[in-house]
Amino acid sequence: MQTKRLGRQTVALSRPPSVVSFACIGGKMEGQGPLADYFDLLHPDSFFGAKTWEQGESAMQRKVLRKALEKGGLTPEDLDYVLAGDLLNQCIGTSFGLREFQIPFFGLYGACSTMGESLALASLLIDGGFARMAGAMTSSHYCTAERQYRMPVPYGSQRAPTAQWTATAAGCCILGAQGDGPYITHVTCGRIVDKGITDANNMGAAMAPAAYDTLAAHFRETGRKPEDYDLILTGDLGVLGHEIVMDFFLHDGLDLRRNYLDCGMLLYDLQGQDMHAGASGCGCSAAVLNGYLLRGMREKRWNRILFAPTGALLSPTSSFQGESIPSICHAVVFSNQKEADR
Amino acid sequence: MQTKRLGRQTVALSRPPSVVSFACIGGKMEGQGPLADYFDLLHPDSFFGAKTWEQGESAMQRKVLRKALEKGGLTPEDLDYVLAGDLLNQCIGTSFGLREFQIPFFGLYGACSTMGESLALASLLIDGGFARMAGAMTSSHYCTAERQYRMPVPYGSQRAPTAQWTATAAGCCILGAQGDGPYITHVTCGRIVDKGITDANNMGAAMAPAAYDTLAAHFRETGRKPEDYDLILTGDLGVLGHEIVMDFFLHDGLDLRRNYLDCGMLLYDLQGQDMHAGASGCGCSAAVLNGYLLRGMREKRWNRILFAPTGALLSPTSSFQGESIPSICHAVVFSNQKEADR
């Protein structure tokens, strides 16, 4: 069975799991952005029917899982596992959001790489024969993230030009051993990369080296080139991080300009909505994937996507103690063909 | 391949992964406890050579992984994955502890169930043919946990009689497709259980229902009885939680008195060290396993152990908002025989 491993980081799935259902939910700002039409649910305020923002974030996870199940004609009992996490301390968005479902649960912490990490592990569990169906999901919330990582929103702190805007959004993708695609054909697991960036207001720069590390490993180990993909999407590097990744690859003689974008550049109208360097948060790549991207794949707008969410593994405490920002990026390949051969 | 699933939560591994190496590290209190002789490394202070307690916790993870690799005659390149997490906000004990190793990394959040969760996922990845060798690890630290969850240690707050003492300890277990055992033969994945307990100073009571849920599922799905195990060990329920779990099973007509213990009762001399209800923290079950238990299995003191760490998925924020305490318990079976048949 060891032949599944193409290299240190990449596995080619021998029985590629299929997307069975997907859903995403967002708040007010997401509903005013260019991807509004791709959301299954949009809530006019940031509480999602709950009393606090943290409870609102849990409500988002609950609602988005319910919606994904409903769209697939499924019940919680159909899922053998759910793999999820979020940005909140002790991942309470997830644990309180999922507690009523009684689905066997593996809790993850991958910061904004969580959508990639959860898809990677769900795919491996299904390909390994341990699950028939599994859910992968995550969320983030502007107001919970601001008060936890930076300042409470009502303080009205000024944001740096390199700052990104944490998405109030959640996405859920249900994978299954059976289905009509898109399929996950490859998983490239990330490593922790830390190039010494310490500016917590410039996450794009901190995470770009991790994105480069994982994408480079993917190309090296699969023997594929960037042009083998209709679209390459990193998580939430934003405008700056996206440029840095393109620069890194240009040094290697690879031109990513034609087909490389970042989820953080897509969720909002950056100028019109005054979003500085772009969107961020676990919910950014989760919502972009589980709406715009997967719907586009089903409509054959794209046939093969390399999806690579990036996460910054810092905490306010580590920054206060002068530490730099370790980052990680987990990548999966979505394809409309079951490409088991390569 | 679906026959691997014995039921909703339990998988029987068809090629049980073997323990290849293991190590544990502790601090001053752990060195004064009854399991002192089973630690590979004991540090006289709580900084582990670092400047802050959080950096000390990272140092513990770094040192314990190095030690486990060294004891197994391995290098970081031999590990295809490492799966780990901790209790700190954003799991910085893990991300800063592991950043120099460059091992493909899946970050977990399972609170004090992390040793069980990481072993479960590592086993599945190896059994599925995705890895030849993988590390499972976690840590906790009394001083980082106190100031994050309760009060900074220098305040000298009085502790409730039901309170437990967060272990300053870390443990690492390296599993491989090849090896002479002990083997992991079964994985029972936990579900989130929340029975409405809100007292954050009585974690044993909060987590006991989760332990019962997972152990009951394990017995039901494997057809095994408690007496099929030489030892059943929950994570860190402490004295009170241990009693509650025994009570639950007594109601089902099962007597666990003969062979059921809790890791939280073993790490310290509860009376002599004034530890109230016992030890807790991810590092508690991690250190008890990766020293006392696995050494005992290699010496044939026990041949079959059901190891079931428990985690409370709360945060200070969720408690401040009046929420109850969702919990989870992940169980794995260690056996000196490769029992692939059942």
pLDDT digits (tens, 9 = 90+) for B156-209: 888 888 888 999 999 999 999 999 999 999 999 999 999 999 988 888 999 999
CA distances from B191 to A136, A272, B10, B204, B281 (A): 15, 44, 12, 17, 19
- The answer to whether residues B137 and B255 belong to one domain is no
Please choose, from the candidates A29, A117, A26, A34, the residue with its C-alpha nearest in 3D space to the C-alpha of residue A63: A26
What is the identity of the amino acid at A235? G
CA distance A75 to A166: 31
CA distance B326 to B283: 20
- The answer to whether residues B217 and B148 belong to one domain is no
Q: Who contacts A54 (Cβ-Cβ below 8 Å, separation ≥6)? A: A88, A92, A93, A96, A141, A144, B317, B318, B321
Cβ neighbours of A101 in B, within 8 Å: 192
Out of A55, A81, A107, closest to residue B109 by CB: A107
pLDDT number for residue B16: 96
Least confident range of A195-199, B57-61, B245-249? A195-199
Q: Summarize the confidence of residues A183-194 as an average pLDDT.
A: 98
List the beta bridge partners of residue A311: A328
CA distance B163 to A282: 34
- The answer to whether residues A191 and A315 belong to one domain is yes
Per-window interface: B 220-279 vs A, CB < 8 A: none
Inter-chain CB proximity B109 and A104 less than 8 Å: no
**For residue B160, what is the DSSP state?**
P
pLDDT band of residue A3 (cuts 50, 70, 90) is low
pLDDT number for residue B1: 45
| Region label for A106, one of left (φ > 0), alpha (ψ between -120 and 50) or beta (otherwise) | beta
Q: Summarize the confidence of residues A290-300 as an average pLDDT.
A: 98
Q: Summarize the confidence of residues A27-49 as an average pLDDT.
A: 96
Q: Is residue B340 part of a domain?
A: no
Length of chain B counted residue by residue: 342
Q: Summarize the confidence of residues B19-40 as an average pLDDT.
A: 97
Q: Is the pLDDT of residue B272 over 80?
A: yes
Least confident range of A116-120, A185-189, B155-159, B276-280? B155-159
Q: Is residue B46 part of a domain?
A: yes
- The answer to whether residues B13 and B160 belong to one domain is yes
Q: Who contacts B72 (Cβ-Cβ below 8 Å, separation ≥6)? A: B20, B21, B174
3-state SS class at B75: coil
Q: Is residue B102 part of a domain?
A: yes
CA distance B303 to B298: 8
Does ipTM surpass 0.90 in this model?
yes
Average per-residue pLDDT for chain A: 95
pLDDT number for residue A200: 83
Residue A106 near chain B (CB below 8 Å): yes
Query: What is the value of pTM for the model shown?
Result: 0.97
- The answer to whether residues A151 and A256 belong to one domain is no
CA distance B124 to B129: 9
CA distance B246 to B252: 10
Q: Summarize the confidence of residues A84-104 as an average pLDDT.
A: 97
Q: Is the pLDDT of residue A241 over 70?
A: yes
CB B91 within 8 A of CB B109: yes
Residue in this structure with the two tokens 């959080």, named with its chain if needed: B54
- The answer to whether residues B55 and B128 belong to one domain is yes
End position of a domain, from candidates B150, B176, B202 = B176
Q: How many CA atoms lie within 13 A of B301 on its CB side?
A: 9
Per-window interface: A 66-105 vs B, CB < 8 A: 77, 80-81, 85, 87-92, 95-96, 98-99, 101-105
Q: Is the peptide bond before A182 cis (omega within 30 degrees of 0)?
A: yes
Tokens of B178: 């090849």
Q: Is the pLDDT of residue A341 over 70?
A: no
Cβ neighbours of A87 in B, within 8 Å: 90
pLDDT number for residue B3: 54
Please choose, from the candidates B26, B24, B312, B291, the residue with its C-alpha nearest in 3D space to the C-alpha of residue B168: B26
pLDDT number for residue B153: 81
Q: Is residue B154 part of a domain?
A: yes
Least confident range of A143-157, B24-38, B53-67? A143-157
Max alpha carbon distance in chain A (Å)? 56
- The answer to whether residues A206 and A313 belong to one domain is yes
- The answer to whether residues A128 and A194 belong to one domain is no
pLDDT number for residue B72: 98
Crossing angle (nearest 10°) for helices B203-222 and B238-251: 40
CATH of the domain at A232: 3.40.47.40
pLDDT number for residue B340: 55
Number of domains in chain B: 2
- The answer to whether residues A39 and A122 belong to one domain is yes
End position of a domain, from candidates B176, B200, B215 = B176
Q: Is residue A244 part of a domain?
A: yes
Domain hosting B35: range is: 2-176
The string of pLDDT tens digits covering residues A144-167 is: 998 898 887 878 888 888 888 999
pLDDT number for residue A2: 43
Task: Kindly provide the b/e burial profile for residues B125-162, where b requires at least 16 CB atoms within 10 angstroms of the residue's own CB.
Answer: bbbbbbbbbbbbbbbbbbbbbbbbbbeeeeeeeebeeb
pLDDT band of residue A342 (cuts 50, 70, 90) is very low
pLDDT band of residue B151 (cuts 50, 70, 90) is confident
Q: Summarize the confidence of residues B95-102 as an average pLDDT.
A: 97
Q: Is the pLDDT of residue B342 over 70?
A: no
CB A30 within 8 A of CB A42: yes
What is the secondary structure of A81-118 as a DSSP string?
A: EEEEEESSGGGHHHHHHHTTT---EEEB--GGGHHHHH
Q: Summarize the confidence of residues B251-267 as an average pLDDT.
A: 96
Q: Is the pLDDT of residue B339 over 90?
A: no
Out of B102, B117, B121, closest to residue A191 by CB: B102
CA distance A107 to B120: 12
Q: Who contacts B272 (Cβ-Cβ below 8 Å, separation ≥6)? A: none
CB A134 within 8 A of CB B133: no
CA distance B215 to B126: 24
Q: Summarize the confidence of residues A205-218 as an average pLDDT.
A: 97
Inter-chain CB proximity A315 and B92 less than 8 Å: yes
pLDDT band of residue A1 (cuts 50, 70, 90) is very low
The string of pLDDT tens digits covering residues B112-138 is: 999 999 999 999 999 999 999 999 999
End position of a domain, from candidates A148, A176, A204 = A176
End-to-end CA distance of chain A: 15
- The answer to whether residues A194 and A169 belong to one domain is no
pLDDT number for residue B156: 80
Determine how many CB atoms are found less than 10 A away from the CB of residue A162. 17
Share of chain B above pLDDT 70, in %: 98
Residue B128 near chain A (CB below 8 Å): yes
CA distance B165 to B145: 10
CB A327 within 8 A of CB A312: yes
